[in-house]
């Protein structure tokens, strides 16, 4: 697989990464440990060098899984993890926390779980309104100086926050949702990243599975699957949004490709410093996703997607109310 550099940071990763959250958390019961280890090692064999996790996924168990799976190849891969949540003694989330002392504690704990000499990319998972972003950036900068972290990232941060953080400690990458299912970053986030030389790591690049064409109005989600509470995945919205999948299918038939591959190829065509991180629990789906890196859409294809996509108004919010409240738009 080809590689890309995240902005001007010099951090080189595979063109597509692997989002590991769903292996342990958020999309129903956790996958079998040994099978998930095999999937991650298959990813390495396919050329994937960029893996994404977070302390909140579980919490903690996903970092432990990723650390165990990648231990034999730790010096060959880039692992990104995240800080920004607080937990009680039983592991329940109690809100946001990006206090400098908390960041330092999380870094030490995450590094123990992940292994290696340093955390390759350390994102603030959500902007904490109670802690100035300058203090957050400064704390991560100290960890970088101490050799515990190599690169600083933000997640779901607005343009103003990105600028303020970057002025204190250069931001290597922003991670936020971006796909044909959610294009808001095009308005002000992408121009800001381009100006500042920051890479972009889209999560949910397949619209949490919707853009693969495998979800319809009869699909049911387990109570511990976050999609069960997301308005965009209610039956009426799914039916209304089917037009987006139909558009991808038209393009896919020209290349003997899948709708998911076209969705990923479209993302890769937007900027050379965009590195999507689709998640999966299956090697077959992993192979399909990796195949998207070799699919080059023509200018005519991209124009068709742009024109037809502009006429499709996606129905339903992308998050429930509680999740929406954590998004920074400053």
pLDDT digits (tens, 9 = 90+) for 113-138: 999 999 999 999 999 999 999 999 99
Residue 301 included in any domain: no
Please give the average per-residue pLDDT across 289-305, as a whole number. 98
Catalytic annotation present for 25: no
Task: Return mean pLDDT, the chain.
Answer: 97
User: Are 119 and 81 in contact, with CB atoms under 8 Å apart?
Assistant: yes
Residue 243 included in any domain: no
Structure tokens at 200: 């972009």
Contacts 24+ apart (CB under 8 A), 319-328: 319/230, 320/229, 320/230, 320/231, 323/226, 323/230, 326/96, 326/126, 326/156, 327/126, 327/156, 328/126, 328/127, 328/156, 328/157, 328/158, 328/161
Residue 161 included in any domain: yes
Residue 251 included in any domain: no
pLDDT digits (tens, 9 = 90+) for 241-292: 999 999 999 999 999 999 999 999 999 999 999 999 999 999 999 999 999 9
pLDDT digits (tens, 9 = 90+) for 208-223: 999 999 999 999 999 9
User: Are 15 and 1 in contact, with CB atoms under 8 Å apart?
Assistant: yes
Please give the average per-residue pLDDT across 182-194, as a whole number. 97
End-to-end Cα separation, the chain, in angstroms: 36
* CA 279/CA 289 separation, integer angstroms: 9
Q: Where are the alpha helices (DSSP H) in 94-219?
A: 100-114, 133-145, 159-168, 185-196
The pLDDT score that the predictor gives to residue 111 is: 98
Residue 216 included in any domain: no
Residue 64 included in any domain: yes
pLDDT digits (tens, 9 = 90+) for 54-85: 999 999 999 999 999 999 999 999 999 999 99
CA 90 vs CA 86, 143, 203: distances in Å: 11, 28, 28
User: Are 210 and 219 in contact, with CB atoms under 8 Å apart?
Assistant: no
- Residue of 25, 57, 123, 178 marked catalytic: 57
* CA 100/CA 79 separation, integer angstroms: 22
Instruction: Mention every residue, 6+ apart, whose C-beta is less than 8 A from residue 233.
Output: 208, 210, 215, 219, 221, 227, 316
Q: Where are the alpha helices (DSSP H) in 124-227?
A: 133-145, 159-168, 185-196
Residue 328 included in any domain: no
Specify the number of domains making up the chain: 1
Pairing verdict, β 18-19 and 12-14? unpaired
Q: 122 in helix, strand or coil?
A: strand
- Categorize the per-residue pLDDT at 236 as very low, low, confident or very high, splitting at 50, 70 and 90: very high
Other beta carbons within 10 angstroms of residue 35's beta carbon come to: 12
Instruction: Mention every residue, 6+ apart, whose C-beta is less than 8 A from residue 158.
Output: 127, 188, 189, 328, 329, 330
The CATH number for 103's domain is 3.20.20.100
Range of the domain at 67: 3-209+270-295
pLDDT digits (tens, 9 = 90+) for 128-183: 999 999 999 999 999 999 999 999 999 999 999 999 999 999 999 999 999 999 99
Residue 36 included in any domain: yes
């Amino acid at each position: 697989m080809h590689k890309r550099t995240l902005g001007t940071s010099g951090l080189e990763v595979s063109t597509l990464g692997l989002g590991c959250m769903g292996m342990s958390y958020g999309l129903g019961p956790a996958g079998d440990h040994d099978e998930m280890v095999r999937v991650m090692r298959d990813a390495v064999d396919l050329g994937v060098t960029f893996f994404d996790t977070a302390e909140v996924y579980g919490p903690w168990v996903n970092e432990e899984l990723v650390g165990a799976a990648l231990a034999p190849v730790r010096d060959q891969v880039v692992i990104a993890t995240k800080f920004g949540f607080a937990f009680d003694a039983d592991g329940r989330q109690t809100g946001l926390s990006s206090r400098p002392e908390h960041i330092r504690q999380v870094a030490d704990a995450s590094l123990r779980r992940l292994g290696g000499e340093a955390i390759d990319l350390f994102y603030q998972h959500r902007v904490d309104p109670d802690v100035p972003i300058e203090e957050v950036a400064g704390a991560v900068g100290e960890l970088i100086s101490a050799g515990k972290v190599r690169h600083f990232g933000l997640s779901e941060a607005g343009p103003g926050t990105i600028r303020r953080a970057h002025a204190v400690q250069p931001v290597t990458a922003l991670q936020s949702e971006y796909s044909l299912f959610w294009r808001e970053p095009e308005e002000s986030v992408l121009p800001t990243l381009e100006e500042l030389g920051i890479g972009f790591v889209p999560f949910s690049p397949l619209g949490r599975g919707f853009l693969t064409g495998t979800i319809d109005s009869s699909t049911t989600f387990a109570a511990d699957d976050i999609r069960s509470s997301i308005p965009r995945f209610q039956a009426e919205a799914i039916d209304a949004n089917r037009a987006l999948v139909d558009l991808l299918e038209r393009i896919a038939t020209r290349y003997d490709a899948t709708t998911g591959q076209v969705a990923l190829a479209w993302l890769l065509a937007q900027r050379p410093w965009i590195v999507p991180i689709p998640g999966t629990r299956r090697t077959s789906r992993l192979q399909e996703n990796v195949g998207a890196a070799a699919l080059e859409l023509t200018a005519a294809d991209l124009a068709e997607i742009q024109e037809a996509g502009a006429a499709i108004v996606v129905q339903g919010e992308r998050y429930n109310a509680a999740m929406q409240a954590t998004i920074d738009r400053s």
